[in-house]
């Protein structure tokens, strides 16, 4: 009976050339993740607009299926058993530019745009604010979820609002920057109260003024070593791309999700105690409440010797100890047990419990 009702609504409400595709079944998720890991999705559908998204949500609700929203698949580790519900891949595209007061331009980008393609497009228009976030894998819709950050910038600094589809009320809503509750690699979209939202578009406030940000050590070192004089935002983008290419694995060659762990933030007193024990331990103040952010990569590299470590096909990248790599046929379990080994070493040496940055779907 339920199926019949659904069918009648469908005929009545939709134009004949509607684009809604029935979900496919048993689709291997490893083909959609940069780790190249993940078993089958019971159902899988790609949506190109909010109407298709609405239908996908209706489909999942009618079958009482859990929903998992996939962007670029670059920050997830999905179980080898797969996902028992509906995986919705967001393919909502488009970039819109709107002149605002003075030097400001509002740029509205569809959640399904590739992040770096969008950054390249925006930088080529001479708008500044996103250039330090060049070459980060993933989609535009995933960027606010974990408040992506790199080379002295965080995406929250340029976001004005995030448009979401509320899966409880079936309405489109706009979350202000404050409502997004951005923090270091965190936002409302990672918390239980934000799970009802699916991000559809992101609004950025960018500037025609080339406000270059060269505070991060890797960038300032590059500029002095290469005696760079022309500091255009395109040049900053080129520099970031060069640095990232040297430090981080090439996704065409290796399966990876970038930093696997967050950098821990500790109390100043705890940091001072640790420095007495490990004199070279770096620490960055400026984290909230005067706490200190410690590069987990330093601990994993210097104290735990994990750089270049391998357990079969699960390993740690040779140039960055925070980055786990699938060298071929590693399973989610292999990556997970390697990560637990790394957590245990850091705990033993420093009493710090590392938190995973990558979203784990087990």
Interface with ligand EPU (CB under 6 A), residue from 320, 331, 336, 339: 320
Per-position x/- string for 233-252, each x denoting binding to ligand EPU as judged by CB under 6 A, each - no binding: --------------x-----
d(CA 185, CA 219): 21
Taking CB under 6 A as the criterion, the residue among 77, 127, 322, 335 binding ligand EPU is 322
Between strands 67-70 and 83-90, the pairing is: parallel
Helix axis angle, 217-225 to 233-247, nearest 10°: 110
90 within 8 A of 113, measured Cβ to Cβ = no
Q: Which is nearer to ligand EPU, 259 or 331 (CB)?
A: 259
| Interface residue with ligand EPU, options 85, 126, 194, 295 (CB under 6 A) | 295
Residue nearest to ligand EPU according to CB distances in the complex: 258
- Cα 360 to chain centroid distance, Å, stands at 13
Site for ligand EPU in 271-290 (CB under 6 A): 282
Q: Does 254 bind ligand EPU (CB under 6 A)?
A: no
**Which of 74, 128, 134, 259 is the catalytic position?**
259
> Considering the rule CB under 6 A, would residue 150 count as an interface residue with ligand EPU?
yes
259 is catalytic: yes
The reply to whether 185 belongs to the active site is yes
SS3 84: strand
357 contributes a contact to ligand EPU by CB under 6 A: yes
Binder among 187, 263, 326, 331 for ligand EPU (CB under 6 A): 263
Alpha helices by DSSP H, the chain: 2-13, 50-62, 115-124, 142-145, 217-225, 233-247, 268-277, 296-298, 332-350
CB 41 within 8 A of CB 83: yes
Tokens for 156, please give them: 């929250």
Tell me which residues are annotated as active site. Answer: 185, 259, 357
The binding site for ligand EPU (CB under 6 A) comprises 150-151, 218, 247, 258-259, 262-263, 282, 295, 297-298, 301-302, 307, 320-322, 357
């Amino acid at each position: 009976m339920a199926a019949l009702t659904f069918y009648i609504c469908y005929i009545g409400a939709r134009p004949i050339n509607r684009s809604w595709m029935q979900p496919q079944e048993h689709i291997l998720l490893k083909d959609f993740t940069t780790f190249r890991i993940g078993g089958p999705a019971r159902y899988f559908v790609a949506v190109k607009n909010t109407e298709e998204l609405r239908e996908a949500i209706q489909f999942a609700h009618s079958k009482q299926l859990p929903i998992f929203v996939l962007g670029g698949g670059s920050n997830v580790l999905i179980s080898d058993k797969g996902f028992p519900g509906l995986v919705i891949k967001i393919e909502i595209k488009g970039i819109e530019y709107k002149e605002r007061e003075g030097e400001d331009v509002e740029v509205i980008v569809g959640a399904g745009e590739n992040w770096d393609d969008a950054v390249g497009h925006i930088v080529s228009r001479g708008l500044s604010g996103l250039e330090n976030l060049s070459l980060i894998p993933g989609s535009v819709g995933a960027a606010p979820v974990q408040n992506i950050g790199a080379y002295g910038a965080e995406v929250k600094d340029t976001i004005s609002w995030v448009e979401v589809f509320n899966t409880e009320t079936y309405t489109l809503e706009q979350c202000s920057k404050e409502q997004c509750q951005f923090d270091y690699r965190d936002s409302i979209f990672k918390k239980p109260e934000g799970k009802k939202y699916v991000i559809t578009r992101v609004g950025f406030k960018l500037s025609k003024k080339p406000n270059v940000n060269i505070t991060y050590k890797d960038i300032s070192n590059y500029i002095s070593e290469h005696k760079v004089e022309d500091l255009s935002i395109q040049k900053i983008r080129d520099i970031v791309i060069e640095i990232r290419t040297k430090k981080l694995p090439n996704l065409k060659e290796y399966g990876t999700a970038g930093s696997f762990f967050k950098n821990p933030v500790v109390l100043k007193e705890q940091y001072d105690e640790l420095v007495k024990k490990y004199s070279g331990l770096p620490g960055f103040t400026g984290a909230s409440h005067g706490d200190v952010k410690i590069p987990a990569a330093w601990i994993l590299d210097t104290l735990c010797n994990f750089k270049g470590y391998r357990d079969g096909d699960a390993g740690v990248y040779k140039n960055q100890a925070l980055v786990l790599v699938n060298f071929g046929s590693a399973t989610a379990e292999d990556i997970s047990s390697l990560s637990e080994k790394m957590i245990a070493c850091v705990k033993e040496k420093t009493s710090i419990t590392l938190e995973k940055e990558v979203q784990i779907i087990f």
